[in-house]
Amino acid sequence: MHYFNQAAGGLMPDHVLQTVADYMLREQAIGSFLAAQQVQPQLQQLYARLAELLHCAPTDIALTTGNSHGWNAVVGALPLAAGDRVLVAPGEWGGNYAMLLQLSARTGCMVETMPCTPEGALDLVALEAQLERVKLIALTWVPANGSTVYDAHALGRLCARHGIAYVIDAAQALGHIPVDVQALQCDALTAPGRKWLCGPRGTGVVYLKPGFVEKLHPQVVDHLSCPITANGPLLRRDARVLEQSEASMALNLGLLAALDSAQAQGWSQRFAAIALRAKQLRTALAGVPGLTLQQLADAPTDCGILPFTLEGYTPAQVQQALLAQEIQVAASGMGYTPLDMQARGLATVVRASVAWHTSEADIAALTHALKQLAAQAVTA
């Protein structure tokens, strides 16, 4: 299959699948608790690998079951109150936005959209003049519909100057582009393991800036995150306060295997390959009759997510027609980025996303298939 759905989930290397299967056989042979005890050294390597990738300490890392788990755990633990303002960008992930609306209904905090330029970039000058009572800025760094890549570093500097909590959703960034939490100056960053990291579904990571954990009031704890001591329950003071003891060792070991594979290849080589294929695909799609790239002017040419529509077809029809030719893309609906899609009058877009292993032959196959569909629409 010609795979252009990396933004939904990466293809696991054989080594990852074998690692997961081997651990499950271990659980079958000796039981889940002893098996978990035996692989603790490898799990510590996972924290170290993620810390190295994010440029932080292993104690700043928590493992989760996915991005929504991690993001909701962080944001849901913030002490928001009536009248507090929470700011998001137009490209905010729909799941995050739904959570914020729930928090607004429960706490009385107000959810607002940050000002942007006509090209789609954050208008930081206008934003800095509107920060009264802002307690949280939540940024989906690379929106799911690929319309832009926000300047997360500049926004981090602004938040640091004003002492505003800054949480980044890096679901479509980690493994796609370099991520350095020190340079970002974020208080928290979340990502899943299943997308650009090419790990198993059901894995994820949270970074917490040292000291930020003191400001959190977790909504869910257990004996791992809040052990009972002789003096009563005691919340952990590191990122693992967001973890729960019931976790899949098999999937986490699979994520470690995926990170090992990427590290062996070289992260810089992966980032460069994704950027190159993104540019090549963007150029190729521009030559398809009736195809419109549905991106803002601020979108960089090397972003690996390319949204488009094809005249004469719904995105779902394009998706199914391509799948019949062993080409996989996504049809991204309103729920993915509701604020941005509504503002631009879009209900759905086709989303093609490249991986480090995307080839020129893959791009040629997709382009040829789309040109055939375009020709059929003209003659119909």
With bands split at pLDDT 50, 70 and 90, how would you rate the model's confidence at 88?
Answer: very high
Q: Does domain 14-265 have CATH number 3.10.450.50?
A: no
Long-range contacts of 319-325 (CB under 8 A, 24+ apart): 319/350, 321/369, 321/373, 322/366, 322/369, 322/370, 325/365, 325/369
Angstrom distances, CA of residue 278 to CA of 23, 201, 301, 364, 369: 36, 24, 7, 13, 18
- Show the tokens assigned to 321: 């027609």
Which residues of the chain are in CATH 3.40.640.10 domains?
A: 14-265
pLDDT at 15: 96
Question: Which is nearest to 152 in space by CA: 119, 132, 182?
Answer: 182
* Helix (H) or strand (E) run with residue 306 in it: strand 305-310
Helix (H, G, I), strand (E, B) or coil at 302: coil
How much is the average pLDDT of 36-44? 96
Q: Check residue 380 and give its pLDDT.
A: 62
Between CA 279 and CA 361 the distance in angstroms is 15
Q: Please state the φ and ψ torsions of residue 63, each to the nearest 5 degrees.
A: -95, 140
What average pLDDT does the chain have?
96
Of the listed ranges 13-27, 90-104, 230-244, the least confidently predicted one is 230-244
C-alpha pair distances (Å), 16 with each of 49, 75, 87, 111, 217:
15, 31, 38, 40, 35
Span 27-41, mean pLDDT? Answer: 97
Architecture of domain 2-8+266-379: Alpha-Beta Complex (3.90)
pLDDT tier at 255, thresholds 50, 70, 90: very high
pLDDT over 70 at 181, yes or no: yes
* Selected residue with higher pLDDT from 138 and 300: 138
> For position 174, what pLDDT does the model report?
98
DSSP 8-state code for residue 276: H
Report the length, in residues, of the chain: 380
- Range(s) of the chain covered by CATH 3.90.1150.10: 2-8+266-379
CA distance 196 to 103: 29
Higher pLDDT, 360 or 219: 360
Q: How far apart are CA 8 and CA 330, in angstroms?
A: 8
Q: Which of 194, 205, 165, 257 is nearest to 60 (CA)?
A: 205
Give the C-alpha separation, 83 to 294, whole Å.
36
Question: Would you call 105 helix, strand, or coil by DSSP?
Answer: helix
**Residue 177 DSSP label:** B
Got the DSSP string for 15-81?
HHHHHHHHHHHHHHHH-HHHHHHHTHHHHHHHHHHHHHHHTS-GGGEEEESSHHHHHHHHHTTS---
Separation between Cα atoms, residue 207 and residue 191, nearest integer Å = 9
Mean pLDDT score, 79-84: 97
pLDDT tens digits for range 228-250: 988 888 999 999 999 989 999 99
pLDDT of 188 strictly over 90: yes
More confident residue, 188 or 148: 188
Q: What is the pTM of this model?
A: 0.96
For residues 186 and 206, is the Cβ–Cβ distance under 8 A? no
Among 162-166, 209-213, 218-222, 260-264, which is the least confidently predicted range? 218-222
Q: How far is CA 75 from CA 100, 112, 119, 202, in A?
A: 8, 15, 29, 20
- What is the average pLDDT across 280-295? 96
Across the range 310-318, mean pLDDT stands at 97
Which residue shows structure tokens 């090397």?
Answer: 302
Give the mean pLDDT of 84-102: 97
> Does the pLDDT value for residue 379 go beyond 90?
no
